[in-house]
Amino acid sequence: MKTEFIKADLNQKDEKYQDLLKRAGELIRKGGLVAFPTETVYGLGANALDEKASASIYQAKGRPSDNPLIVHIADICDLSNLAAFISENAKKLINAYWPGPMTLVFEKKDIVPLETTGGLNTVAIRMPRHTLALDLIRSARTPVAAPSANISGRPSPTKACHVMEDLNGRIDMIIDGGETGIGIESTVIDVTAKVPIILRPGYVTGEMVEAVTGDVKTDPAVAGESAGLKPRAPGMKYHHYAPNAPMYLVKGEAAAVVKYINQKIKEHSVKGWLTGIICTEETKEVYQGGVLINIGNREDEDALGKHLFSALRELNEKGVDIIYSEFFNEEGFGQAIMNRLLKAAAYQIITV
Ligand code: TXA
Ligand code: MG
C-alpha cells in the first residue's frame, strides 16, 4: 500500500486545506486509515462504527486485539449516540476538560462494535483539542477510533516523521500538522461507577479530577504494575515505549546521579558500548561522553512531557547500547511522565 504524506497548513485554512480534509474524511468514512495530529500524540484514525476498519487498525499497528481503541468525537451531541449512561461526574468532567487530553470510559451502546472496544461492553471516548483533529472528525461524519499511531510497543509519535517511521506502507495517509503540544497520551478515566477511577495518568491530573468531582481513585495497577496487579485499562499491561536498548532510571541526589552515570559511561566505553542519557537543561553540561538527549528544564514539566517520546526514538536512531535516565518529580503531570518512563525502562530503577 502506498502511504500518502501530506503537510497541512493550520494557519491558513485555504482551499488546499479544505480539499485535504474532505479527502481524508472520505477515506475514513469508507474504511481507510488516516494518521493525524491531536494535542497529545498522533492518532491512527478509522471509522469507529465500522468493525472492519477497526480490525485494520489492529493489523496495521500489530496491536493485540483485546486492547480497546479510543473513539474520538468533535461534537458533544455525538456522545449520547455512543454512551449508554452519562453520570453526573462524567458531565462535570466533560464541562471542565473537553475538548482536551481526557478520555472517559462509559457503558457502550450497541452501535459501537466490539471490534472497536476490544470485546468490552464499555467504550472510551475523547473530544480532542486540536483544530485539525476536530476538522477531520467532522469531515468524516462518523466517530473516529484512534489509538496512538505507532507500531505496538514503540513510543507514541509526537511528530509526523515518527508515524512515517512506523507505519509507512501500512496505512492510507499521514497528515503532518507539526509537533504535538503535550506529547503524552490522554488521561483515561473510568466514569461507569460513582467515583471516577484514573486508569492511565495524563495531562489532566488526579488533582484536576478531584477539583470538579470531589473524589477520585487511581487504578492500583498504575502505580504497582511491577507488583503484578492486573490493570483495568487493557493497554496498560503491555510492554510499552520500549527503546531497543535496555534502560535504567537513576534515582538519588542530583550529584550522586551524575557521578553514577559518568562512572557507567566510562565503564561501558571500555567495552565499546555507546551510552544514551536522558538529561535536563540543568545537567546537559555535566556528563562526560555518551549520547545526551536534553528533554528540557526540570521545573518545566510541560517541556519534559513534550520531548520524552521523541528522546526515546532518537536514542534508537543513534544506536545506543544502554540508556540511563534521570528521575523526575511524580507530582501533578509528573505522574504521567514517570509512568511512561518507568514503562520504557521496564521498571528498572537504580537507587544511588
Ligand atoms: O491521547 C490519546 O489518548 C491518544 C490520541 C491519539 O487520542 N490515543 C491513545 O490511544 O493513546 P491508545 O489506543 O494508544 O491508548 C488507549 C488506552 C489503552 O491503554 C486502552 O487499554 C485504554 O485506553 N482503553 C480504551 N478503551 C478502554 C475501555 N473501554 N476500558 C478501559 N480502558 C480502555
Ligand atoms: Mg498507544
Taking only the tens place, the pLDDT of each residue in 188-228 is 999 999 999 999 999 999 999 999 999 999 998 886 555 56
Asked if 333 and 302 touch (Cβ cutoff 8 Å), the reply is yes
- Which stretches of the chain are DSSP H helices? 15-29, 51-61, 79-82, 88-97, 131-140, 160-167, 206-213, 220-224, 254-270, 301-317, 334-344
In this structure, which ligand is nearest to the CA of 137?
1
**Which whole number is the average pLDDT over 54-76?**
95
Pocket test residue of 44, 63, 103, 239 for ligand 1, highest count of atoms within 8 A of CB:
103
The residue whose C-alpha atom lies closest to atom 7 belonging to ligand 1 is 43
In this structure, which ligand is nearest to the CA of 151?
2
Residue of 175 and 224 predicted with greater confidence: 175
Would you list the DSSP string of 220-274? HHHHHGGGTPPPSSGGGGS--S--SS-EEEEES-HHHHHHHHHHHHHHHHHTTPP
Q: How far from each other are the two terminal CA atoms of the chain, in whole angstroms?
A: 50
**Can you give the pTM of this predicted structure?**
0.96
Q: Locate cell 481503541: which residue?
A: 69
Q: Which atom of ligand 1 is nearest to the CA of 184?
A: 1
**Which whole number is the average pLDDT over 244-258?**
96
**Which whole number is the average pLDDT over 165-188?**
98
Whole-number Å distance, alpha carbon 148 to ligand 2 midpoint, is 4
Partnered with residue 102 across adjacent β-strands are 187
Residue 95 confidence (pLDDT): 98
Q: How confident is the model at residue 12 (pLDDT cuts 50, 70, 90)?
A: confident
DSSP secondary structure letter of residue 346: T
Q: Mapping DSSP to helix (H, G, I), strand (E, B) and coil, where does residue 28 land?
A: helix
Query: Around 167, how many Cα atoms within 13 Å sit in the side-chain half-sphere?
Result: 39
336 phi and psi angles, rounded to 5 deg: -70, -40
Q: Cβ atoms within 10 A of the Cβ of 159, count? A: 20
Whether residue 84 has pLDDT greater than 80 = yes
Angle of CA points 186, 335, 167, to nearest 5°? 40
Written as nine digits, the cell of 62 is 500489530
Whether residue 279 has pLDDT greater than 80 = yes
Whole-number Å distance, alpha carbon 23 to ligand 2 midpoint, is 25
d(CA 225, CA 237): 8
d(CA 142, CA 252): 49
C-alpha distance from residue 241 to each of 153, 236, 238, 314, 339 (Å): 5, 11, 10, 13, 11
Angle of CA points 128, 160, 47, to nearest 5°? 50
d(CA 132, CA 137): 9
Whole-number Å distance, alpha carbon 187 to ligand 1 midpoint, is 9
The residue whose C-alpha atom lies closest to atom 31 belonging to ligand 1 is 233
Partnered with residue 125 across adjacent β-strands are 71, 104
Residue 241 confidence (pLDDT): 80
Q: How confident is the model at residue 13 (pLDDT cuts 50, 70, 90)?
A: confident
Protein residues with CB under 6 Å of any ligand 1 atom = 38, 40-41, 43, 67-70, 103, 105, 117, 120, 122-124, 126, 128, 146-148, 185-186, 188, 199-200, 232-236
d(CA 195, CA 193): 6
Residue 240 confidence (pLDDT): 75
For the chain, the average pLDDT equals: 95
- Out of 7-21, 39-53, 112-126, 183-197, least confident range: 7-21
